[in-house]
């Protein structure tokens, strides 16, 4: 069957041969892409295919935390490329032990499972929670409670866990075993707990949901509920982990210890990698054959992870993120103090949100024209994610551009409203 016949059979119909057609991309259009093609990056800067230079305050959505093309990590990757790329997890991979030790020595965890992404790390966490209760504790518990405005991934299980309806549209039926309650609503959380509840899962900062920080008092209450009811506490650190918030892991700000937490994004400087970490008593739940992945923790991935984590620790980047985050927020508050268009400036470390009165998509586009890249966190929130090496000069430059953009847009909005 040729392609024309395939198209007709799919209901696309035919087109007059004399009508000129524009060739469509061979890529599924599942991304709303900006009209920019980035081809090069170094440090805090990226360049497009037309030679335009941009100050990057997106970091690939909190991924390139050491900046673009970090030399130490690149050297380790090149060295590993000439040595060994891939072997099955049926064999020992020495670098996995190195990375796992780096992670567990610097956290409350005892065990690590390597995977390829944040969604996979959260899938592993959900599976571990269920299997621990069912195979180790001998109960039938399987439900996971999550919170509105959260984001946990795009697989069927993790999008069901996500507290945003927009990611679920068109994917029915969704898997059973998830309940979602409003954030900071303790009575609703308590009411949702049942004999089937296995775990409570949450982010320390709801990054995709508006850069909303979890209140410490609420988090302590969640931790106590888990202890009271024998539930596992799962912390999603996919965006907040690896130094982003001013600690190596965001839960370390709050004086609690999760049973399980998940990592990806900043763990490997842009190489696809993720990890699910857990307490030692969960080891019995993941026996041989219970969970697996082909590409998790390959020699290439672990070489990059090790170099990234070692660099982060040696250069004290979490501490640097804490200092630079306060500088960034302070400067934004100073420059935007007189803007009624800005409702709030919040965040932790170098995960910063600016909540505005109306949608900010046009400000994002205007920023691109001025050579500054940033993204949204929901329709009304600007999200800033510079790399952890970002300099004061680069922060000054970004804030100057952004504050001017916001003031200009606010004046335009107020003028249109008055007319």
Rounded Cα–Cα distance for residues 215 and 387 (Å): 25
Contacts 24+ apart (CB under 8 A), 392-397: 392/324, 392/327, 394/44, 394/55, 395/324, 395/327, 395/328, 395/331, 396/331, 397/55
Stretch(es) of the chain classified as CATH 3.90.1150.10? 35-64+317-418
Rounded Cα–Cα distance for residues 138 and 416 (Å): 63
Q: Which is it for strands 274-278 and 111-115: parallel, antiparallel or unpaired?
A: antiparallel
Provide CB contacts within 8 A for 1, sequence distance 6+.
Answer: 9
- Fold exhibited by the domain 71-314: 3.40.640
Q: Which CATH number fits domain 35-64+317-418: 3.20.20.70, 3.30.9.10, 3.90.1150.10, 3.30.457.10?
A: 3.90.1150.10
At residue 5, the pLDDT reads 43
Query: SS3 for 269?
Result: coil
Stretch(es) of the chain classified as CATH 3.40.640.10? 71-314
At residue 413, the pLDDT reads 78
At residue 167, the pLDDT reads 95
At residue 9, the pLDDT reads 45
Provide CB contacts within 8 A for 146, sequence distance 6+.
Answer: 152, 161, 162, 163, 178, 179, 180, 181, 200, 201, 202
At residue 18, the pLDDT reads 56
Closest CA to 388 of 36, 46, 68: 68
Closest CA to 151 of 238, 269, 261: 238
Indicate the DSSP class of residue 157: H
Question: 197 has which bridge partners?
Answer: 143
At residue 4, the pLDDT reads 44
Rounded Cα–Cα distance for residues 59 and 57 (Å): 6
Q: What is the pLDDT along the chain (419 residues), one digit of tens a residue?
A: 444 444 444 444 444 555 556 688 999 999 999 999 999 999 999 999 999 999 999 999 999 999 999 999 999 999 999 999 999 999 999 999 999 999 999 999 999 999 999 999 999 999 999 999 999 999 999 999 999 999 999 999 999 999 999 999 999 999 999 999 999 999 999 999 999 999 999 999 999 999 999 999 999 999 999 999 999 999 999 999 999 999 999 999 999 999 999 999 999 999 999 999 999 999 999 999 999 999 999 999 999 999 999 999 999 999 999 999 999 999 999 999 999 999 999 999 999 999 999 999 999 999 999 999 999 999 999 999 999 999 999 999 999 999 999 999 998 877 765 54
Estimate the crossing angle of helix 392-418 against helix 317-335, to 10 degrees: 30
At residue 417, the pLDDT reads 57
Distances (CA, A) of 176 to 133, 145, 157, 308: 17, 12, 9, 37
Rounded Cα–Cα distance for residues 176 and 171 (Å): 13
Indicate the DSSP class of residue 24: P
Distances (CA, A) of 382 to 69, 165, 254, 390: 25, 21, 25, 18
């Amino acid at each position: 069957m040729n392609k024309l016949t395939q198209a007709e059979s799919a209901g696309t119909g035919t087109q007059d041969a004399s009508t000129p057609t524009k060739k469509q991309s061979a890529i599924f259009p599942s991304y709303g892409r900006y009209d920019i093609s980035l081809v090069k990056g170094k440090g805090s800067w990226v360049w497009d295919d037309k030679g335009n230079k941009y100050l990057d305050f997106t970091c690939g959505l909190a991924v390139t935390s050491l900046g673009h093309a970090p030399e130490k990590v690149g050297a380790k990757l090149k060295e590993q490329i000439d040595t060994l790329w891939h072997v099955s997890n049926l064999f020992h991979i020495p670098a996995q032990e190195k990375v796992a030790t780096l992670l567990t020595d610097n956290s409350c965890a005892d065990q690590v499972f390597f995977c390829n992404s944040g969604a996979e790390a959260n899938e592993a966490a959900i599976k571990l929670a269920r299997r621990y209760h069912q195979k180790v504790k001998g109960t039938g518990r399987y439900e996971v409670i999550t919170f509105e405005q959260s984001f946990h991934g795009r697989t069927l299980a993790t999008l069901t866990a996500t507290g945003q309806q927009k990611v679920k549209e068109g994917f029915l039926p969704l898997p059973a075993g998830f309940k979602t309650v409003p954030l900071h609503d303790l009575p609703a959380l308590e009411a949702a707990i049942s004999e089937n509840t296995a775990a409570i899962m949450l982010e320390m900062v709801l990054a995709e949901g508006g850069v909303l920080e979890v209140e410490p008092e609420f988090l302590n209450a969640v931790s106590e509920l888990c202890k009271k009811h024998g539930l596992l506490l799962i912390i999603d650190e996919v965006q907040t982990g690896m130094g982003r918030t001013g600690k190596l892991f965001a839960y370390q700000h709050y004086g609690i210890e999760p049973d399980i937490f998940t990592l990806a994004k900043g763990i490997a400087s842009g190489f696809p990698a993720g990890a699910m970490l857990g307490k030692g008593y969960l080891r019995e739940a993941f026996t041989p054959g219970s969970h697996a992945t082909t590409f998790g923790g390959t020699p290439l991935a672990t070489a990059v992870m090790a170099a990234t984590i070692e660099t982060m620790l040696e250069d004290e980047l979490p501490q640097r993120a804490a200092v630079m985050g306060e500088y960034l927020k302070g400067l934004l508050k100073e420059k935007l103090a007189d803007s009624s268009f800005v409702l709030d400036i919040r965040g932790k470390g170098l995960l910063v949100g600016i909540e505005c009165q109306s949608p900010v998509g046009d400000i994002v586009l205007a920023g691109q024209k001025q050579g500054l890249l940033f993204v949204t966190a929901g329709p009304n929130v600007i999200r800033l994610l510079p790399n952890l090496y970002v300099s004061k000069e680069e922060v000054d430059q970004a804030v100057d551009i952004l504050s001017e953009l916001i003031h200009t847009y606010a004046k335009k909005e107020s003028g249109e409203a008055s007319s």
